[in-house]
Amino acid sequence: MSLNIRDVICKSGYIFFRKYQSNASIIEIAEHLGKTLVPWESGLVQTLVPRAEATPNSYSGIYGLNDFPFHSDLAHWRTPPRYLLLRCIVGFADVPTLMIDGHNLIDAVTLDILARAIFKPRRPRDGSVSLLRLCQPVEDIMRVRWDEVFLKPASRIGEIANLRVREWLSACKPTAISLAETHDTLLIDNWRMLHARSAILPGRETRAIERVYLEALH
Ligand SMILES: [Fe+2]
């Protein structure tokens, strides 16, 4: 992988490639960039399509075609995937992916509060409940997690952090990147950035985005 990609990810938390490598599959691109991760059985590539209705314990089941709240992916896992790679199959400029830099969240809410805020998955996984911090030093970085659907506060500082993060998110100005054209590709540092899908406008129901998780870059 070129030094440039690593530099940009390090500086911005994401990198966007317009109409990237039209002859390559998302798997080829992901394997070129880093080490892929299969989050669940036969789930290496997930195809994300808007759904007005879905199971109640999913974003689509709760929010349907409305905008999704900011989150990091699989925030209720003890070790969430480090990166997510999104690749456009059918896209629209007016359905942007929104991103918030976790560094700004830390500046606003303070590391002290976020690092002490204990959360737990809303539903136990594998019969056990893990206690998770919103912010934790891992390797040489500060890993951020957030998900208002799948995580809930489990301590008094957690309750405080919950209110402050929600308040800050409701007022912050996200970066909007549109996966508008086929093969537009977006790599996001999932330990740093929060992201959200904006609302699916009428006529945009055919949107289709592929996703692959990476546990590291080469
Ligand atoms: Fe997501």
pLDDT digits 0-9 by tens, 61-106: 999 999 999 999 999 999 999 999 999 999 999 999 999 999 999 9
Q: Where are the alpha helices (DSSP H) in 93-155?
A: 102-109, 111-116
d(CA 22, CA 55): 34
* Token duo for residue 25: 């599959």
Ligand 1 centre distance from Cα of residue 141 (Å) = 21
128 pLDDT band, cuts 50/70/90, is confident
Kindly report the pTM of this predicted structure: 0.96
Listed in sequence order, the residues at least 6 apart from 133 whose beta carbon sits closer than 8 Å to its beta carbon are 114, 115, 116, 117, 118, 119, 145
Condensed to tens digits (0 to 9), the pLDDT of residues 164-210 reads 999 999 999 999 999 999 999 999 999 999 999 999 999 999 999 99
Amino acid present at 50: P
How many structural domains does the chain have? 1
In this structure, are residues 195 and 97 in contact, taking their beta carbons and an 8 Å threshold? yes
Ligand 1 centre distance from Cα of residue 190 (Å) = 9
Listed in sequence order, the residues at least 6 apart from 138 whose beta carbon sits closer than 8 Å to its beta carbon are 191
Ligand 1 centre distance from Cα of residue 153 (Å) = 20
* Token duo for residue 111: 């590391």
Condensed to tens digits (0 to 9), the pLDDT of residues 2-47 reads 668 999 999 999 999 999 999 999 999 999 999 999 999 989 999 9
Q: State the residue for tokens 């991103």.
A: 99
Give strand pairing partners of 120. 152
Domain CATH number, residue 212: 3.60.130.10
53 pLDDT band, cuts 50/70/90, is very high
Q: Supply the range of the domain harboring residue 26.
A: 3-217
pLDDT of residue 1: 59
Ligand 1 centre distance from Cα of residue 149 (Å) = 12
Of the candidates 216, 171, 163, 197, the one whose C-alpha atom is nearest the C-alpha of residue 49 is 197
d(CA 119, CA 80): 14
d(CA 39, CA 17): 24
Ligand 1 centre distance from Cα of residue 68 (Å) = 9
Ligand 1 centre distance from Cα of residue 198 (Å) = 11
CB-proximal residues (5 Å) to ion ligand 1: 73
In this structure, are residues 72 and 196 in contact, taking their beta carbons and an 8 Å threshold? no
Helical axes 156-171 vs 102-109, angle rounded to 10°? 120
